[in-house]
């Protein structure tokens, strides 16, 4: 192996980075590799071996002395002042970066709905925010890489001997005093820099030389093979354990034996981590001492399992395009890594430990498993000493407030960002994220962007509350990303919302909008009375199987939106009813830890008024009891009482996401559509992996007329999970309004047969396929398909006859041609075979229509309807002698 070059390195070429490329080929600040020369086809990857215990990639990790990436942060004293050990060197200071942002914080990165709806919401004052529920964490069944959803190529374990360095040295540009941060051990003129000596600024002794050599026996059982890397707390050695079947192990020593902080960190690592036992965390085996013949002192060494493979840093840097530029990892692959990391983080948090310094250097993939390594920065929750972290990954509040669970999760989110898109994360975006306008992958996956925004919020209280909560939302985002990629749904039960029990609306086009086909009238017959109402397409009357008269929508519905137009124009699409839409949305689960959870589960009252009466007997005035009453008040449209309840809940439980959700429901019922959208958007921000807030936001956008935004939200929900049938009908409505008839039909026909709304979807598809079609269009395939679909539907005679009228009437109009336009083009493909049992010529179609009209007349309730239907049958029948 080529010895490292100790001369001054070249500057990093990454945009916005002020670091340098070290002898290993990596930047000491941003961690990215220099543009590599194209290797020979037969050449093996140079850094396929990496071991545990630090930056173990066979090369220096960039953490020596006062490292350029990782910073040890003294906690603020009681007076609020930082320790005097803070260095002025911005990239290597032990004090870390100031918590002030560059002006673009994560929260300000625009985590709102894309399009015109976002403009509406941005004009509203007092944006809503949501905090995590106390019991938001749920059990996880993830035991494999990628949550069982992503296949990633395994990385074989290399021969450990290939990781040993021939001439281990610390590059001069990484040599800094561990106390004051000044440069030490640098070249002067023709004289090479010293690897050992004293700092000229503060007099602290330094040493960058390995203390162990090949053949040394440490602790009476570990034979040293050589150095494999160095990390922020010392050299890393490969050794053989002669007492355990010559097992490969790693010894991690101190970089500078005169550094009390580094010594204490090593002692803490042994104390905290000796009992840590998680499959995704490197295992600490032992702690041993060995004499240093130079200083005549005893040096401590941590013994860890050897973990071979590749670090995420190496995996990321090997992805290059033809010009040598780094190519980001696919989002699904990066999320798969994070879903293995988060349970390990949660394991540490449950034991009162914080990792503090997570980054791409500290994770190794071996085969199809990953392991977190380099545990030197781990500390307890109540730690009051120096805090280690890395610029660009560390949360901005850590230098003053110290680390926390939320700051650990912040580092995981920053790691996801570094892996999935290129940005200046150590400079311009040190404490923020670029916007979707700047990064294509964030435009493509809005839910992923919202997750990153929440996890890196400048306010720790607004981040995810636990590793389990973040993992659950990240899993939902992964399902969405995969579904968008290949079109295959990835359904899953939500831990926050109950399943969708009913669809928001199963109508797409106005079912009452079918009039007598103009081409069906023969000359000489009795014409329809002027102003006579059109008849429904076979919808049975509420009291039985008869047909209802159109013109007066059924009770409780909202009149259809205009836009039916004439033949060839998009059909009239129904307008949603805000009240019925609000109560068709998924309902939040009851918190099982609520004092009234059992009482609420046992309630037998069905009506909202009876429910309110029953709630008076609840044993405790808990959140869930008040939320249940709130829903009942909204259902009764007692909006003033509901508003008062929301205010009291805000006062007592401000930020609870369920309160914000029901605020949106109340606003939707009260026709405050923008207020409802604002509330549901806040819930989407908090839980980007959930389908319910996207569905609710789509409903609001559709009612507001923001069709593009509504279509996108419906698409996200339906593509990911086909159990939310409301999204299929909503997607069809928005596509019809946009003039995409075929897209609307495709959405409706994608409803699976296992759905309880399959029949309604097929009926809506037939209507969407044929309604308002011009005779000059090539309708033969659509007419045949509609007839075949109708034949397979198990529906009542009234609806079947009504749909048959639509199909046969459309076929007759198409066969005869539009009024005044002459016959249909002879170049069009003719109908092949019978249509609903009738020959597809004019005579056969007229007989078919006559038959269906007479059936509808037989089912009609009123005499007027019966007379009108019989008249239509007589007018449409062909001329005969009988």
- Short-list 732, 662, 654, 733, CA closest to 692: 662
* Residues in contact with 150: Cβ distance below 8 Å, sequence separation at least 6, in sequence order: 332, 333, 335, 336, 478, 482
Alpha-carbon gap, residue 687 to 290, rounded angstroms: 52
Chain-centroid distance of CA 245 in Å reads 46
- Measured distance CA(515)–CA(567) in Å, rounded: 12
Spatial CA neighbour of 299 closest among 311, 291, 307: 291
| Nearest to 191, CA basis, from 7, 5, 3, 2 | 7
* Residues paired with 73 in a beta bridge: 387
Known catalytic residue at 246: no
Distance, CA of 787 to CA of 792 (rounded, Å) = 9
- Looking at 162-311, list the stretches that DSSP marks H as alpha helix, in order from N- to C-terminal side: 260-273
The active-site residue out of 182, 357, 361, 374 is 357
Q: What is the dihedral of CA 616, 622, 625, 629, to 10 degrees?
A: 80
**Total residue length of the chain:** 882
Count CB atoms within 10 A of the CB of residue 13.
13
At how many degrees (to 10) do helices 405-420 and 467-486 cross? 20
Q: Is the dihedral of CA 228, 231, 237, 238 positive or negative?
A: negative
Burial 357-371 (b: 16+ CB within 10 A, else e): bbbbbbbbbbeebbb
Burial readout 380-396 (b: 16 or more C-beta within 10 A, e: otherwise): eeebeebbbbbbbbbbb
**Residue 716 belongs to what H/E stretch?**
helix 707-720
Paired strand residues for 21: 10, 27
DSSP sequence for 9-75: PEEP-STT---EE-TTSBBTTT-PBPPPPPPPTTPPPTT----SSSS-SSS--S-SSS-SSEEEEPP
- CA–CA separation, 469 and 488 (whole Å): 25
User: How far is residue 275 from each of residues 143, 269, 363, measured CA to CA in Å?
Assistant: 21, 11, 20
3-state SS, 809-832, equals HHHHHHHHCCCCCCCCCCCCCCCC
Q: Are strands 205-207 and 196-198 parallel, antiparallel or unpaired?
A: antiparallel
* Residues with catalytic roles: 357
């Amino acid at each position: 192996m080529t010895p490292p070059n100790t001369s001054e390195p070249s500057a990093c070429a990454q945009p916005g980075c002020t670091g340098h490329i070290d002898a290993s080929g990596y930047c000491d600040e941003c961690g990215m590799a220099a543009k590599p020369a194209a290797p020979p086809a037969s050449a093996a990857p140079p850094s396929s071996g990496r071991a545990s215990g630090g930056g173990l990639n066979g090369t220096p990790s960039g953490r020596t002395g006062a490292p350029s990436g990782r910073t040890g942060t003294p906690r603020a004293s009681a007076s609020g002042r930082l320790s005097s050990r803070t260095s002025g060197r911005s990239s290597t200071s032990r004090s870390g970066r100031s918590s002030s942002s560059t002006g673009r914080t994560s929260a300000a990165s625009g985590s709102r709905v894309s399009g015109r709806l976002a403009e509406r919401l941005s004009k509203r004052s007092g944006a809503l925010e949501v905090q995590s529920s106390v019991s938001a964490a749920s059990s996880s069944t993830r035991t494999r890489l990628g949550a069982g959803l992503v296949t990633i190529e395994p990385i074989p374990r290399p021969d450990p001997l290939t990781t040993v360095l021939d001439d281990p040295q610390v590059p001069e540009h990484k040599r800094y005093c561990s106390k004051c941060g000044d440069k030490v051990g640098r070249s002067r003129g023709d004289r090479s820099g010293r690897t050992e000596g004293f700092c000229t600024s503060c007099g602290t002794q330094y040493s960058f030389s390995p203390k162990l050599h090949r053949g040394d026996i440490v602790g009476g059982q570990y034979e040293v093979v050589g150095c494999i890397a160095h990390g922020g707390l010392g050299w890393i050695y490969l050794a053989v354990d002669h007492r355990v079947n010559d097992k490969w192990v790693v010894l991690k020593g101190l970089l500078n034996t005169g550094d009390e902080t580094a010594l204490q960190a090593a002692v803490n690592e042994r104390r905290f981590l000796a009992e840590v036992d998680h499959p995704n965390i490197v295992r600490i085996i032992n702690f041993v001492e060995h004499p240093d013949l130079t200083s005549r002192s005893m040096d401590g060494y941590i013994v860890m399992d050897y973990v071979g493979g590749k670090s995420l840093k190496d995996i990321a840097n090997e992805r290059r395009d033809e010009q040598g530029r780094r190519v980001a990892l696919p989002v699904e692959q990066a999320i798969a890594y994070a879903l293995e990391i988060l349970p390990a983080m949660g394991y540490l948090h449950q034991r009162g430990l914080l990792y503090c310094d997570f980054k791409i250097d500290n994770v190794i993939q071996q085969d199809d498993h990953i392991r977190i390594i380099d545990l030197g920065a781990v500390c307890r929750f109540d730690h009051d000493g120096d805090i280690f972290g890395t610029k660009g990954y560390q949360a901005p509040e850590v230098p003053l407030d110290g680390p926390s669970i939320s700051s650990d999760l912040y580092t995981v989110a920053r790691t996801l960002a570094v892996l999935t898109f290129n940005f200046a994360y150590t400079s311009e975006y040190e404490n923020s994220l670029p916007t979707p306008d700047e990064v294509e992958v964030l435009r493509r996956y809005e839910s992923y962007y919202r997750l990153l925004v929440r996890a890196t919020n400048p306010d720790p209280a607004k981040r995810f509350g636990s590793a389990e909560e973040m993992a659950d939302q990240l899993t939902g985002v992964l399902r969405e990303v995969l579904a968008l990629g290949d079109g295959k749904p990835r359904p899953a039960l939500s831990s926050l919302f109950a399943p969708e029990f009913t669809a928001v609306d199963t109508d797409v086009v106005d079912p009452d909008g079918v009039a007598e086909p103009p081409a069906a009238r023969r000359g000489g017959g009795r014409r329809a009375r002027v102003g006579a109402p059109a008849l429904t397409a076979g919808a049975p009357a509420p009291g039985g199987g008869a047909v209802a008269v159109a013109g007066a929508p059924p009770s409780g519905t909202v009149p259809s939106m205009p836009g039916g137009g004439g033949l060839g124009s998009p059909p009239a699409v129904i307008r949603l009813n805000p009240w019925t839409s609000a109560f068709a949305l998924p309902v939040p689960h009851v918190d099982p830890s609520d004092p009234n959870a059992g009482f609420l589960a046992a309630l037998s009252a069905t009506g909202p008024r009876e429910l309110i009466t029953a709630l008076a007997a609840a044993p405790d005035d808990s959140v869930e009891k008040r939320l249940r009453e709130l829903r009942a008040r909204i259902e009764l449209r007692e909006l003033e009482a509901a508003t008062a309840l929301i205010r009291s809940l805000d006062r007592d439980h401000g930020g609870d996401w369920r309160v914000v959700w029901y605020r949106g429901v109340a606003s939707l019922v009260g026709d405050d559509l923008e207020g409802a959208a604002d509330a549901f958007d806040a819930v989407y921000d908090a839980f980007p992996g959930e389908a319910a807030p996207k569905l609710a936001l789509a409903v609001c956008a559709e009612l507001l007329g923001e069709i593009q935004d509504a279509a996108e939200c419906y698409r996200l929900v339906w593509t990911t999970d086909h159990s939310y049938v409301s999204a299929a009908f909503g997607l069809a409505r928005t596509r019809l309004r946009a003039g995409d008839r075929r897209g609307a039909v495709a959405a409706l026909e994608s409803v699976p047969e296992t759905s309880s709304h399959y029949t309604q979807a097929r009926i809506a598809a037939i209507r969407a396929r044929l309604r308002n079609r011009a005779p000059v269009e090539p309708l033969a395939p659509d007419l045949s398909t509609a007839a075949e679909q109708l034949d397979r539907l198990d529906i009542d005679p009234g609806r079947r006859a009504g749909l048959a009228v639509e199909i046969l009437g459309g076929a007759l109009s198409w066969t005869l041609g539009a009024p005044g336009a002459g016959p249909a083009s002879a170049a069009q493909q003719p109908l092949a075979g019978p249509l609903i049992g009738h020959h597809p010529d004019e005579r056969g179609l007229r007989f078919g229509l006559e038959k269906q009209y007479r059936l509808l007349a037989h089912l009609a309730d009123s005499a007027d309807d019966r007379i009108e239907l019989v008249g239509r049958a007589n007018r449409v029948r062909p001329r005969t002698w009988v």
